[in-house]
Amino acid sequence: MLIDNNDVDRREFLKLTTATGLGGLASLAGCSSLESSSGGAENAGSELPQYKYLNNPANYNPARHDAINLVGEQLNNLGLNVKVQVFEWGTLYTKITQEHDFSFATWSRGLGIDPGVRMPEQFHSSNVTADQGNFTGYANKDLDPTLMEQLQEKDEQKRIQMLHDIQTTLGKDVPMHPIVQMPNIVAYNNNQVSGWTDHIVGYYHFEPMTNVEVKNDKKELRGSWAETLGTMNVLGYKNETKLIHQFEMLYDKLVRINSKLEADPKLSLATKWERPDDTTVKYKLREDHKWHDGEAVTPEDVKFTLDYVKKNKIPLYSTQWELYDSVSVDGQWITVTFKDPIGPVHKLFSNQIPILPKHKWNSRSNPAKASVKKPVGSGPLQFDYWDKGSELSLKKYGDHWRPVKFNRRIWRIIPESSTVWSLLKKGKLNYLPYTRIGKQLKDNKGKSNIGVQSTPGDGWWHFSQNLRKKGLDDRAVRQAAVHAIPKAAINKQILYGFAKEGWNLIGESFGKYSNPDVKKYQKQNGVEAGKKRLEDAGYVIDNDGTVHFPEQSSK
């Protein structure tokens, strides 16, 4: 069945995704893969090879599973021979990032707070070996210098231009393309909670969390998570969202980035910063600030933290500790000397490492494996109690320069989502820190006491193509495949319209960093547009709809 993006029958749609899912592979394009067909393709070369599109199991992420099946079906309609294969997440990730044993891949990715930081990792030609970030195998020697230089460019306008150029090139070459831009989304009980403000990384960020207001007896913000938290060690966790939410508020950062994507002294532990040269940054530490246990926060704590993280090679902050050489203190000023020039230093470095109390961590010889029962930070929330596997409570730290507007934030572990929604409607819970897009959200969005706020985020479902595979090494084939992605149908039917169709790796949420002139692919009749692109490039589509290489390339 062809999916016309503007006219999708839900019943047909679901039948299609289910059937494809049950079969475990998308149907072949009009012929058996075991026999060659070249009817009507006298001037054609051989058929394109069979491609593998790796899919996660339905129970891991049902929506994405259905979307991948659907895209696989459309690629077959385009005339490619695509087999959708389901793998457990760990296996899938290994096959793609280490073994490069895939043709197409899709999962969720995010760029973080700065759109340029992950670009070299994902697209630089020196990064294509096993387990490095550029798993598509994309190599563009002309683009490589720009990918690196934008990280070192201090002049914002020049850097924006570089990022625009990168987007233009990647938009044409499409080694990776966004299917849908995923939103940050929060559902809450609007009788009790109000005042959410948007931020590109999400509503858990320091700024929205210190803006939100709570009206109930105890002034408690009450959320839930499906999984247990596991650890309270800020240096020993694995970058899991549920813990990022906690540490964001328990600890301060030298610099924080506000919702306008600017370094903001009102949110930061440092009140001033200077850049005397390309490899040096000086920070003036906020005075009279105290740790949750009453000790003073000093520049020595900052120096200790940066030295400690580097000395112990904390994996979570490896990107950051590899950047700097030395840290020194002079009065309230801390000077950090970097190995190489860094452009967006505050987005790449200053806002990343949480500042730790020296008097608590000094005696810990193996910080990544330390058991931290009662974390002490200096952020606007302080540790209250933690019933492992059941509940975490953080209470207001009244001495913070930007205090929260509630007394406590409680997280209850509740695996069953129907229970969560029931408690949210009753007001026992009053916000969902992780609001999964799905039927529950759609059904409850209109309820009088349920508020839903969303804003474009930094992430997308990517559609990645392995350029090491014959056929996919040709830009024309990749572009045709991108044409065929039924983005509107996926957003409308699978994501209930909460997401946005993706056209550019650096989406509109990044404001001026996003290039509005990036090549747009076909919104409707994508399969037909894809076929036309293939034929224009010399590929031949036979009577069965199967794509053949141009005769010359076959020979």
Residues that bind other proteins (CB under 8 A): 87-91, 93-94, 97, 118, 121-122, 131-133, 135, 218, 220, 222, 227-228, 230-231, 233, 236-239, 313, 315, 318-319, 322, 368-369, 371, 385-391, 393, 408, 410, 412-416, 418-419, 422-423, 428-429
> Cβ of residue 61: shortest distance to other proteins, in angstroms?
13
CA–CA gap between residue 116 and residue 426 (Å, rounded): 43
Closest to 394 in 3D by CA, of 378, 372, 411: 411
CB 543 within 8 A of CB 39: yes
Q: Is 310 helix (H, G, I), strand (E, B) or coil?
A: helix
Residue 237: CB atoms within 10 A of its CB come to 19
CB 197 within 8 A of CB 405: no
DSSP output for 192-228: TEE-----TT-TTSHHHHHH-EE-STT-EEEEEESS-
Q: Which is nearer to other proteins, 414 or 537 (CB)?
A: 414
> Cβ of residue 418: shortest distance to other proteins, in angstroms?
7
Q: Which is nearer to other proteins, 238 or 260 (CB)?
A: 238
Q: Which amino acid makes up residue 49?
A: P
> Cβ of residue 435: shortest distance to other proteins, in angstroms?
18
| 137 beta partners | none
> Cβ of residue 321: shortest distance to other proteins, in angstroms?
10
> Cβ of residue 425: shortest distance to other proteins, in angstroms?
9
> Cβ of residue 90: shortest distance to other proteins, in angstroms?
4
| 6 beta partners | none
> Cβ of residue 538: shortest distance to other proteins, in angstroms?
35
* Angle at 443 (CA atoms; ends 439, 444), nearest 5 degrees: 120
CB 283 within 8 A of CB 350: yes
CB 149 within 8 A of CB 340: no
Q: Which is nearer to other proteins, 52 or 286 (CB)?
A: 52
Closest to 458 in 3D by CA, of 105, 115, 203: 115
> Cβ of residue 202: shortest distance to other proteins, in angstroms?
18
Q: Which is nearer to other proteins, 93 or 401 (CB)?
A: 93
Strand (E) or helix (H) holding 67: helix 62-78
> Cβ of residue 235: shortest distance to other proteins, in angstroms?
10
Q: Which is nearer to other proteins, 265 or 427 (CB)?
A: 427
> Cβ of residue 160: shortest distance to other proteins, in angstroms?
23
CA–CA gap between residue 504 and residue 509 (Å, rounded): 11
Q: Which is nearer to other proteins, 220 or 399 (CB)?
A: 220
Give backbone dihedrals phi and psi of 55, rounded to 5 degrees, phi first. Answer: -125, 145
Q: Which is nearer to other proteins, 191 or 393 (CB)?
A: 393
Give backbone dihedrals phi and psi of 284, rounded to 5 degrees, phi first. Answer: -100, 120
Q: Which is nearer to other proteins, 428 or 519 (CB)?
A: 428
Q: Where are the beta strands (DSSP E) in 91-241?
A: 104-105, 108-110, 176-189, 193-194, 213-214, 220-225
Q: Which is nearer to other proteins, 87 or 333 (CB)?
A: 87
Strand (E) or helix (H) holding 93: helix 89-97
CA–CA gap between residue 192 and residue 213 (Å, rounded): 8
Report the C-alpha dihedral over residues 522, 524, 526, 532, rounded to 10 degrees: -70
Q: Which is nearer to other proteins, 157 or 418 (CB)?
A: 418
